[in-house]
């Protein structure tokens, strides 16, 4: 009978290794620790947190080291169920594993070991690892990948019948081309039975050139002791690599960008050309919205049903587009609320603004939201019509149905009354000045 027979009810502990400094990602002293470097709007470890959370762990230990206080603070706010475990000094992955297991001394069940700097790890590969580990009742299971050239990664040696033989580090095989020719590599991501793992990590020694303890040696000990080591080949081998430099960060960015786009499309969002569209994490888009090419939507934006964004549109943090709103080319929207059916289709900047239902913001309109010291709000009422080239100097309001003329400058505090038309630099209400009427003809550009 399988020792793992209890299936999903069997407890699961996650160990996340997140102590690294990430020297090659650290341009200056004030840059964040590696796992808090941002990718598509959230830290690397947040992507990992989302992937592993699907496994439903009962315990989570995160091993921190470099700038541990900053990582611990992030964990406290964003991953409160995780137990931070300080690794100081950092003596290798085996050492980190020893500390993590010591932090959950009473834990019995499966232990999955992952890295905080593998943001693009596929949730389905993680689930595959754990499922196979349990189905096979393995003592240790290694998640492997197959690629044409694993370069510096450890190679997986199998016996002729396919069973695990051992892991050989690339640097230990420099003069053995037959080993280097092996295309199956060790991801460093494992599932263990806690009962087998504890004695295996207790037996680790640092008798190597670096004087460190390695998690791979724990796998070797388990195999040497005659326990069962299984292998699971990942379906997304590109998603197993750690992020150690800017190029690897860019690779992870590309994978996550495509995955985020695919998720939106699977829920009924049209993304016309995912290759030329960037959508960060934590963007809400309702089914039926259309995202045109060359669009960049940052974290925290919300887009309603039937809204259309792009091409060449940039939605920044907290931009909210209600149903049927349209944001067109060369338009930037930041921290603004765009009402149902409202439009801003060309060469416009809306910052700290609200645009009412059905309002039309012409071409080349600017909300001047910054006075050199503070940001101020612009309110554009429902059905208002903002003429092309208008600058709205915040704080300012355009009333319901109000209109501004082309190249008008509506100065701070000089609100446009509902239904009124203003023109000129600075803008004056028509009928209250001697300004000729010609410039007021609700001029605006439209597509």
Q: Which positions from 14 through 73 interact with a second copy, judged by CB under 8 A?
A: 24, 27-28
* 210 versus 266: smaller Cβ distance to a second copy: 266
Minimum CB separation from a second copy for residue 172, in Å? 23
Sign of the dihedral defined by the CA atoms of residues 81, 87, 91, 97, in that order: negative
Which of 380, 330, 328, 387 is closest to 352 using CA atoms? 380
- Per DSSP, the three-state class of 213 is coil
Of 287, 419, 431, 433, the residue at the interface with a second copy (CB under 8 A) is 287
Residue 330, Ramachandran bin (φ over 0: left; ψ between -120 and 50: alpha; else beta): left
Q: Does 358 bind a second copy (CB under 8 A)?
A: no
Of 137, 170, 227, 330, the residue at the interface with a second copy (CB under 8 A) is 330
* 328 versus 339: smaller Cβ distance to a second copy: 328
Say what the alpha-carbon torsion angle 328, 330, 336, 337 is, to the nearest 10 degrees. Answer: 0
Of 297, 349, 404, 430, the residue at the interface with a second copy (CB under 8 A) is 349
Task: HSE, CB side, 13 Å, CA atoms: give it for residue 229.
Answer: 27
- Whole-number Å distance between alpha carbons of 175 and 170: 10
* 229 versus 406: smaller Cβ distance to a second copy: 406
Residues of span 116-135 touching a second copy by CB under 8 A: none
Minimum CB separation from a second copy for residue 129, in Å? 19
Of 13, 44, 297, 391, the residue at the interface with a second copy (CB under 8 A) is 391
* 138 versus 409: smaller Cβ distance to a second copy: 409
Binding segment for a second copy (CB under 8 A), chosen from 51-59, 127-135, 139-147, 330-338, is 330-338
Minimum CB separation from a second copy for residue 173, in Å? 19
Instruction: Give Cβ neighbours of residue 224 (< 8 Å, ≥ 6 apart).
Output: none
Per annotation, catalytic residue among 95, 264, 346, 376: 346
Which of 127, 108, 126, 262 is closest to 193 using CA atoms? 108
- Per DSSP, the three-state class of 164 is strand
236 catalytic, yes or no? no
- The binding track of 245-284 with respect to a second copy, each residue x by CB under 8 A or -, is xxx-xx--xx--x---xx--xx-xxxxxxxxx-x------
Instruction: Give Cβ neighbours of residue 16 (< 8 Å, ≥ 6 apart).
Output: 45, 48, 52, 60, 61, 62, 63, 82, 114, 115, 116
Minimum CB separation from a second copy for residue 218, in Å? 32
Minimum CB separation from a second copy for residue 17, in Å? 24
- Whole-number Å distance between alpha carbons of 121 and 144: 12
Total binding residues toward a second copy, as defined by CB under 8 A: 85
* 46 versus 139: smaller Cβ distance to a second copy: 46
* 3 versus 426: smaller Cβ distance to a second copy: 426
Longest dimension (CA), the chain: 97
Of 323, 329, 418, 429, the residue at the interface with a second copy (CB under 8 A) is 329
- Whole-number Å distance between alpha carbons of 352 and 10: 50
Residues of span 398-427 touching a second copy by CB under 8 A: 405-409, 411-414, 423-426
- β-pair type (110-115, 12-18): parallel
For residue 77, give Cα distances in angstroms to 71, 84, 100: 10, 12, 20
Q: Which residues are catalytic?
A: 346
């Amino acid at each position: 009978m399988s020792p793992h027979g209890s299936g999903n009810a069997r407890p699961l502990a996650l160990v996340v290794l997140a102590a690294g400094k990430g020297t090659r990602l650290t341009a200056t002293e004030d840059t964040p620790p590696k796992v808090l470097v941002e990718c598509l709007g959230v830290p690397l470890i947040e992507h990992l947190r989302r992937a592993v959370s699907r496994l439903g762990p009962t315990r989570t230990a995160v091993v921190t080291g470099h700038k541990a206080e900053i990582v611990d603070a992030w964990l406290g706010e964003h991953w409160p169920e995780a137990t931070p475990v300080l690794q100081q000094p950092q003596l290798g992955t085996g050492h980190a594993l020893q500390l993590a297991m010591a932090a959950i001394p009473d834990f019995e069940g499966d232990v999955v070991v992952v890295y905080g700097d593998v943001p693009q790890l596929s949730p389905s590969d993680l689930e595959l690892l754990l499922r196979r580990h349990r189905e096979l009742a393995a003592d240790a299971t290694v998640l492997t990948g197959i690629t044409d050239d694993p370069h510096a990664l450890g190679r997986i040696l199998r016996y002729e019948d396919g069973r695990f033989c051992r892991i050989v580090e690339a640097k230990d095989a420099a003069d053995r081309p037959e080993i280097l020719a092996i295309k199956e590599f060790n991801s460093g991501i494992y599932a263990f039975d806690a009962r087998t793992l504890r004695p295996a990590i207790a037996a680790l020694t640092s008798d190597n050139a670096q004087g460190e303890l390695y998690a791979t040696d724990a796998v070797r000990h388990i195999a040497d002791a005659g326990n069962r080591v299984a292998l699971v080949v990942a379906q997304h081998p590109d998603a197993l690599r750690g992020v150690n430099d800017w190029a690897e960060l860019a690779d992870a960015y590309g994978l996550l960008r495509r995955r985020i786009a695919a998720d939106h499309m699977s829920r009924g969002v049209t993304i016309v050309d995912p290759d030329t569209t960037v959508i960060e994490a934590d963007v809400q888009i309702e089914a039926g919205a259309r995202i045109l090419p060359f669009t960049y939507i940052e974290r925290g934006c919300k887009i309603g049903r039937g809204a259309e964004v792009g091409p060449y549109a940039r939605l920044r943090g907290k931009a909210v587009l209600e149903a049927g709103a349209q944001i067109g080319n060369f338009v930037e929207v930041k921290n603004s609320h765009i009402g149902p059916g409202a439009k801003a289709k060309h060469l416009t900047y809306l910052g700290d603004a609200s645009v009412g239902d059905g309002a039309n913001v012409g071409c080349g309109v600017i909300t001047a939201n910054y006075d050199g010291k503070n940001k101020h709000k612009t309110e554009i009422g429902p059905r208002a019509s903002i003429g092309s080239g208008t600058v709205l100097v915040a704080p300012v309001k355009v009333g319901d149905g109000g209109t501004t003329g082309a190249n008008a400058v509506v100065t701070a505090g000089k609100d446009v009354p509902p239904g009124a038309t203003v023109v000129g630099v600075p803008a004056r209400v028509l009928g209250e000045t001697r300004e000729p009427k010609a410039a007021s003809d609700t001029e605006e550009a439209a597509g």
